[in-house]
Amino acid sequence: MPSICFYFQVHQPYRMRPVSIFDIAEKPEYFDIKANREVCIKVAQKCYLPANALMLELLQRYPEFKISYSVSGVALEQFAEYAPEVLESFQRLAATGQVEFLAETYYHSLASIFSADEFREQVAKHTRTIQHYFGQTPTTFRNTELIYSNGIADMVEDMGFRAMLTEGADRILGWRSANFVYEPINGRGMKLLLKNYQFSDDIAFRFGSRDWPAWPLTVDKFASWVHALDGNADTINLFMDYETIGEHQWEASGIFDFFRHLPEAIFRHGQFGFATPSEVAWKYPTVDRVDVPSAISWADSERDLSAWLGNPMQDGSIAWVYALGDRVKATGDEHLIHTWRKLQTSDHFYYMCTKFWADGDVHKYFSIYDTPHSSYVIMNNIMTDLEIRLKDYPTIQHLPAVDPIQAPPLRHHKRLQAAKLHRVNKVKK
Amino acid sequence: MLGWELPPFNSGGLGTASLGLTEGLASLDIGIEFVLPKSPGRFPFQHMRVHSAADYTKDGEATHWEERYFETSLGYGNYLTHTADGQVVVTPGLSMPEDTNLPTAEAQAAWYAKRAARLAATQNFDLVHSHDWMTYEAGIASRTVARKRGQDVPLVAHVHATEADRGGTRGGGNRIIAALEKRGVHQADRVVAVSHYTKQMIHTEYEVPLNKISVVHNGIDTKRQPEQFPLHALKAHHKLVLFMGRVTLSKGPDYFLEVARQVCAADPNVRFLLIGSGDMEQACIERAAAMGLTGKVLFSTFLRGKDVEKAYQLADLFVMPSVSEPFGLVVLEAMQNGTPVITSKQSGVVEVSDSMIKVDFWDTEAMSRSVLHVLHNPHFTQELTRNAKHDVAQLSWGRAAEKLHEIYSELVPQQLVLLPAVAS
């Protein structure tokens, strides 16, 4: 009984305002409120609202249809402010009981690479936000951009998660198939779900591409590929950006129709169904362990961290951001801490990427800045201002950081243990 | 007078110098018809008339690159356009619009020359004055027009920069441009250089006899007082060292970064501001990051109008580390704004004032020591800026124009009227 496991990523960063040298120390606003609102509303109209309406329709028509989302905290915040109807439509999806919401870092950050404490705090904050909006406590974790390593898996398992998602990179699998459940090399029971990048990217990247020999990708064609795996797969993990539907693949490409008819086509084969990540983790046995000593991700053709880190502009800026951590937290000023954390969002460093091959185009598409260099320059100005702002706080504030969003990992762990997995999708009213 | 740009539609010192000189000459009762390749808008000038050579394009002769070319090349990589009401719109683009059909330097010069000749045929003038290589062909063509009429009209080639300066090395730069430049200074009846430094350069590069080259130093509008901006809040937190100019090899931005590295190691509270656009902009940003100077060097694309003076006043020190600088008007501007200056010895401006610190551009250690000295010794710095303001007050465009007038009088001994009003 193989399952199709859909996970959609929903994320919008707080894009930076082009803060100039003259703005420094003059109390500038760091984030481009106008641009962020505009993008939010634009993507809501092209993707979130119509896609959520479609999903709701499908979930109601097919009680066995299941999907999952990971919505970053900064995206939820912006929906609440700029497009509350988007938030409501996600809540309606949650109320069907067929939708799982995953945990991630609230700020869609790279904290897992730079600071274990910061990472845990952001995950805890995100978990509380998901509880607040959707009445679920996530038991499955997905890290920013599916970044994964043995060490990160260890931290995530320590936090009490029962399953984690990552990329089904050839580098870690070798001859093995991504269509089964795995566990970390040093795991203690946490399951790993690996993205089937072939099928996922067929939909996310190649769907509308006329250069692709398989174009046009019809539902029947796709279903026949999936059905051909019968007997050779437990789970087919289709992980992609939600913005694929309507934003990356425009409506004219037929993407909405594709999803509209997909469940029906999949169900045509009696053995196939849908499952959420935690159901997959529950249903299928692990077949093997995977060893990932250095980090992988789902980005670009390298599937590594080179989209965010590696050039001196990226490395210099991110090191600076994290270096201020202790001083920022010592202020105890929630607003300031929140602001600093919004600067950790991975997109800022993605914009600074200078990889010059095909991937560069994707980076450019997502960036509101002319060049990688201008986003670096802007972040320099903002960080200089932030440093100056820190001077306004008493310097001898070496009290332990009273972080209002910190949740002790132990308690969190117990609470998760207490929760029955099959109840995950039940909505608490 | 044949020029390339005029304020406010200018991107560099050439436009500023052209305007300053014409104002000075006009006050000496010399009539000026000023020609631009293509006038980007209306100019508010009373002292001369501005002509647009592009108006003398014949029907069906317009070339597809024309509009785009003048928008881009005038801005040295910045995209200059203008609105219907004549306001300049600057898009500080790192990326020039990609046009594979951009004309060669020769084609540009020829384009200008053809139209300038048609314009000259409608004018009566005693002397032709050409500013920099792009206008030399046009100058020669205009003189030919007058000669055909039987008038012996001399041509003055005013060298604001040589291709060797722009290329950053002796014999460097664009060879086509160098060839045009050489033809211009050889064809001219007199060559005017903006400094002795440039005079020497013209002599060695183009084998022009020294007695054919006169030096007229640039000046500054001495009557104008820069607007005083309130003390910027940033100054309370950091000492600020400014580079402002085109970010290109000849201006030495890479030496500025090396100085930043050395100074920041000695005084972590100093911040360096690298302001400007140009072909090395991205390279400099990446290099600063690679040198571990993230947060130590802040960047801005080039500034216009009031922001320029705001930047001078924001800075505690202005550094011009040019590899080769024919003059260096920015130094006088910085002085006028009360900002102390360190400049490379490879520049013309060192000839007109001693109220600045002069260092070889390649000697970054000496430059770094000087930066720290200026920042850490307020008394020394105060005296330096006080003297600098005194010096600047003497360096008017009027004085430069008087020298030019002498040169004109030598060339046109009779009663001189330069490019007087339109002939019938």
Per-residue pLDDT of chain B (424 residues), as tens digits, is: 999 888 887 767 888 999 999 999 999 999 999 999 888 778 889 999 999 998 888 877 765 555 555 554 444 444 455 555 545 555 443 333 344 455 677 888 888 899 999 999 999 999 999 999 989 999 999 999 999 999 999 999 999 999 888 875 555 677 888 999 999 999 999 999 999 999 999 999 999 999 999 999 999 999 988 999 999 999 999 999 999 998 989 999 999 999 999 999 999 999 999 999 888 999 999 999 999 999 999 999 888 888 999 999 999 999 999 999 999 999 999 999 999 999 999 999 999 999 999 999 999 999 999 999 999 999 999 999 999 999 999 999 999 999 999 999 999 976 555 554 333 3
A contact test, residue of B238, B247, B279, B294 with most A CBs within 10 A: B294
Mention every residue, 6+ apart, whose C-beta is less than 8 A from residue B206: B162, B181, B182, B185, B186
User: Which chain A residues are within 8 Å of B253, Cβ to Cβ?
Assistant: none
Counting every residue written for chain A, the total comes to 429
Q: Is pLDDT larger for residue A335 or for residue A358?
A: A335
Where does the pLDDT of residue A367 fall: very low under 50, low under 70, confident under 90, or very high at 90 and above?
low
User: Which chain A residues are within 8 Å of B278, Cβ to Cβ?
Assistant: none
Separation in Å, CA B339 to CA A369, B238, B242, B344? 33, 16, 10, 16
Digit-coded pLDDT (tens) for A110-128: 999 999 999 999 999 999 9
Of A22, A313, A384, the CB nearest to B286: A313
What DSSP letter does each residue of B292-345 carry, written as one string?
T-BTTEEEE----THHHHHHHHH-SEEEE--SSBS--HHHHHHHHTT--EEEES
Mention every residue, 6+ apart, whose C-beta is less than 8 A from residue B334: B242, B312, B315, B318, B341
- Binary contact (A377, B285; C-beta < 8 A): yes
User: Which chain A residues are within 8 Å of B285, Cβ to Cβ?
Assistant: 313, 373, 376-377
3-state DSSP percent of chain B in helix, strand and coil, to 5: 45, 15, 40
Measured between CB atoms, does B290 come within 8 Å of chain A? yes
pLDDT at A24 (0 to 100): 97
Six-digit token string for A95: 């109320």
Q: Is B365 helix (H, G, I), strand (E, B) or coil?
A: helix
CB pairs under 8 A between A and B: 75
Nearest chain B residue (CA) to A20: B300
Q: Which B-chain residues 311-370 have CB contacts (< 8 A) with chain A?
A: 311, 314
Query: Is A64 an active-site residue?
Result: no
- Binary contact (B286, A311; C-beta < 8 A): yes
A contact test, residue of B273, B285, B287, B307 with most A CBs within 10 A: B285
Digit-coded pLDDT (tens) for A301-330: 889 999 999 999 999 999 999 999 999 999
Q: Is pLDDT larger for residue B173 or for residue A416?
A: B173
Where does the pLDDT of residue A178 fall: very low under 50, low under 70, confident under 90, or very high at 90 and above?
very high
Amino acid at A197: Y
Q: Which B-chain residues 242-281 have CB contacts (< 8 A) with chain A?
A: 271, 273, 275, 281
B241 alpha-carbon distance from chain centroid: 22
- Binary contact (B295, A383; C-beta < 8 A): yes
Measured between CB atoms, does B284 come within 8 Å of chain A? no
Whole-angstrom Cα distance, residue B202 to residue B221? 27
Six-digit token string for A121: 């705090």
Longest Cα–Cα distance of chain B, Å, equals: 69
- Binary contact (A22, B310; C-beta < 8 A): yes
Digit-coded pLDDT (tens) for B18-32: 999 999 999 999 999
pLDDT at B41 (0 to 100): 75
pLDDT at B66 (0 to 100): 57
Of A25, A312, A391, the CB nearest to B234: A25
Do the strands A99-101 and A245-246 form a parallel or antiparallel pair, or are they unpaired?
unpaired
User: Which chain B residues are within 8 Å of A373, Cβ to Cβ?
Assistant: 94, 281-282, 285-286, 299
> Which long-range CB contacts under 8 A does B37-40 form with residues at least 24 apart?
B37/B4, B37/B70, B37/B111, B37/B112, B37/B115, B37/B134, B38/B66, B38/B70, B40/B9, B40/B70, B40/B74, B40/B80, B40/B82, B40/B88
In B211-234, which positions are buried (b, 16+ CB within 10 angstroms) versus exposed (e)? eebbbbbbbbbbeeebeebeebeb
User: Which chain A residues are within 8 Å of B290, Cβ to Cβ?
Assistant: 312
Of B232, B275, B295, the CB nearest to A380: B295
B contact test, residue of A19, A21, A343, A378 with most B CBs within 10 A: A21
- Binary contact (A371, B232; C-beta < 8 A): no
- Binary contact (B294, A312; C-beta < 8 A): yes
Whole-angstrom Cα distance, residue A268 to residue A359? 37
Whole-angstrom Cα distance, residue A107 to residue A120? 12
Measured between CB atoms, does B231 come within 8 Å of chain A? no
Measured between CB atoms, does B28 come within 8 Å of chain A? no
Six-digit token string for B26: 């006009």
pLDDT at B7 (0 to 100): 84
Of A24, A354, A377, the CB nearest to B299: A377
User: Which chain B residues are within 8 Å of A371, Cβ to Cβ?
Assistant: 94-95, 282
pLDDT at B416 (0 to 100): 54
Whole-angstrom Cα distance, residue A58 to residue A64? 10
pLDDT at A363 (0 to 100): 58
pLDDT at A419 (0 to 100): 43
User: How many angstroms separate the CA of residue B261 from the nearest CA in chain A?
Assistant: 15
Separation in Å, CA B119 to CA A412, B56, B184? 84, 7, 20
Mention every residue, 6+ apart, whose C-beta is less than 8 A from residue A92: A52, A56
Measured between CB atoms, does B303 come within 8 Å of chain A? no
User: Which chain B residues are within 8 Å of A383, Cβ to Cβ?
Assistant: 295
Count CB neighbours of B55 within 10 A: 11
The number of C-alpha atoms within 13 Å of B225 and in the hemisphere containing its C-beta is 3
Over range A180-204, report the average pLDDT.
97
User: How many angstroms separate the CA of residue A376 from the nearest CA in chain B?
Assistant: 8
User: How many angstroms separate the CA of residue A14 from the nearest CA in chain B?
Assistant: 21
User: How many angstroms separate the CA of residue B254 from the nearest CA in chain A?
Assistant: 17
Count CB neighbours of B91 within 10 A: 14
Over range A86-93, report the average pLDDT.
98
Whole-angstrom Cα distance, residue B141 to residue B145? 6
Please report, in angstroms and rounded to a whole number, the separation of the first and last CA atoms in chain B. Answer: 19
Given A100, A118, A145, A167, which residue is catalytic?
A: A145
Longest Cα–Cα distance of chain A, Å, equals: 68
Of residues B25, B117, B119, B134, the one with CA closest to residue B69: B134
pLDDT at B65 (0 to 100): 53
Separation in Å, CA B311 to CA A23, B239, B316? 12, 13, 10
> Which long-range CB contacts under 8 A does A320-329 form with residues at least 24 apart?
A320/A383, A320/B294, A320/B295, A321/A383, A322/A114, A322/A115, A322/A118, A324/A383, A324/A386, A324/A387, A324/A390, A325/A115, A325/A118, A326/A401, A327/A390, A328/A386, A328/A390, A329/A401, A329/A403
Q: In degrees, to the nearest 5, what angle opens at C-alpha B41 toward C-alphas B40 and B46?
A: 125
Mention every residue, 6+ apart, whose C-beta is less than 8 A from residue A385: A19, A23, A24, A25, A28, A30
Nearest chain A residue (CA) to B238: A388
Interfacial residues of A (vs B; Cβ cutoff 8 Å)? 20-22, 24-26, 311-313, 315-317, 319-320, 354, 370-371, 373-374, 376-377, 380-381, 383-384, 387-388, 391
Of A26, A319, A384, the CB nearest to B298: A384
